[in-house]
Amino acid sequence: MQAELPKEITKLIGKISFEDSSPILVQKGLWQNFCSAIEDSNLIYWNESEAIKHTDELIAHPALLPSWVHDFEWHPNRKKVLPMQLHFHLKEVLNLPLGIVTEVEIEYYEPIKNGDEISSNQKLLSISDPVTTKLGNGRYWVIEVTYFNQKEIIVGKQNMHFLGYKK
Amino acid sequence: MNSKIVLPISKFVTSVKNIQAGAIYSRDWAPLHSDQDWAINKGNLPNIIMNNYTLNGLVIKYVTDLYGDATRIGKVSFKIKKPICPNETLEFHGSVISEDKVSDELSFLNITLDIKISDQIVSSAKIIAGVNLTEKKINSPWKIDSKKWKSYIDEVTTDKS
């Protein structure tokens, strides 16, 4: 049985619907702590004199790109902005309270450096017909996130594949 | 290059501390990655689980450890098949599926990777990486400007689709 998508959702397909600005500047201390957690000794994240041969200066670990637009868990002056707001919006409108990431694709175009200010926008690329999975009934959807630096240069792009469902 | 090259296996042992640190330093505050009480009692999980960013970090590390610090990652795609919990030994099993030489000092490697725990695949990944495979290390892949780099990625990924 097919359930029609609400117009509120179909009108989002292919259009930018949410934007995130950078709550913090890119910080060497954060990326080096991350590298420490995964025991990554690549000198372009750690050693200025080695990094300069390749990237002019130290660069952030590429895996952290999406994290630079994540808000603080707590802030003294405002409520937290959820990451991937479009995903949470879809869950709410479709009454699918649970969601998991099923696949991630990310392309890296420009190295991220200390002091960069990253922003992003989110676009719904596709949404499936209703599905029944082991987890429950729901739909799959794909959200494209494009990341920019402070010069408005696209630094990377990510496609997140989700399953939204209820038991 | 048409024949597959099997790459060396590497290992990473997970712990409560490195899963929590990976999540916190990637600014991922979801409790299933850092709060054991929440993960077990509210998340219906066996323990906290590794987040996407940490897993992606380990995938990238696997490639740069093998091909050198100057390796420039163009694209990573991965699927998570089973949650990754603390006190597990992850085994990284990679293969080079193809190599596209775009200049004397730049080749793109198309790498597939299975991440296993006790022979069970918990995640699989595909990586497109720019490397200089020659003895001459004058021009790093990182020196290519982002527009040119993106056009290479588009070209290589289109060839593989």
B95 backbone dihedrals φ, ψ, rounded to 5°: -145, 140
pLDDT at A4: 86
Q: How confident is the model at residue B159 (pLDDT cuts 50, 70, 90)?
A: low
Neighbour tally for B31: CB within 10 Å: 14
User: What ipTM describes this predicted complex?
Assistant: 0.94
Spacing of C-alpha A17 from chain mean position? 14
Query: DSSP labels for B117-132?
Result: ETTEEEEEEEEEEEE-
pLDDT at A164: 93
Q: What is the pLDDT of residues A103-115, one digit of tens each?
A: 999 999 999 999 9
pLDDT at B19: 98
Residue B2 has pLDDT above 70, yes or no: no
Strand ranges in A109-167 using DSSP code E only, listed in sequence order: 119-127, 131-132, 137-148, 154-166
Query: A-chain residues within 8 Å CB-CB of B146?
Result: 109-110, 153-155
Query: A-chain residues within 8 Å CB-CB of B12?
Result: 38-39
Verify whether the Cβ–Cβ distance B64 to A40 is below 8 Å.
yes
B135-144 mean pLDDT? 81
* Averaged pLDDT score across all residues of chain B: 93
A63-79 mean pLDDT? 95
Following CA atoms B118, B128, A146, A97 in sequence, which dihedral angle do they give, to the nearest 10 degrees? -20
DSSP assignment, residue A59? B
Q: How confident is the model at residue A1 (pLDDT cuts 50, 70, 90)?
A: very low
Q: What is the pLDDT of residues B57-69, one digit of tens each?
A: 999 999 999 999 9
Verify whether the Cβ–Cβ distance B75 to A107 is below 8 Å.
yes
CA–CA separation, A94 vs B80, rounded Å?
A: 24
| Cβ–Cβ < 8 Å for B129, B108 | yes
pLDDT at A157: 97
Query: B-chain residues within 8 Å CB-CB of A63?
Result: 26, 53-54, 56-57, 59-60
Q: What is the pLDDT of residues B37-56, one digit of tens each?
A: 999 998 888 999 999 999 99
pLDDT at B3: 74
Q: What is the pLDDT of residues B89-137, one digit of tens each?
A: 999 999 999 999 998 889 999 999 999 999 999 999 999 999 988 877 6
Residue B161 has pLDDT above 60, yes or no: no
Residue B85 has pLDDT above 60, yes or no: yes
A24-35 mean pLDDT? 97
Question: Which tokens go with A88?
Answer: 């949470």
- Please give the angle made by the CA atoms of B121, B24 and A165, to the nearest 5 degrees: 55
A84-90 mean pLDDT? 94
Which amino acid is present at B98? S
Interface test with A, best of B56, B73, B115 (most A CBs within 10 A): B56
pLDDT at A104: 95
Q: How confident is the model at residue A82 (pLDDT cuts 50, 70, 90)?
A: confident
Least confident of A112-121, A143-152, B144-153: B144-153
* Averaged pLDDT score across all residues of chain A: 94
Q: What is the pLDDT of residues A51-62, one digit of tens each?
A: 998 998 999 999
Query: A-chain residues within 8 Å CB-CB of B73?
Result: 62, 108
Residues in Cβ contact with A33 at an 8 Å cutoff, skipping those fewer than 6 apart: B21, B25
Residues in Cβ contact with A12 at an 8 Å cutoff, skipping those fewer than 6 apart: A86, A124
Tokens 């792009």: give the residue. Answer: A157
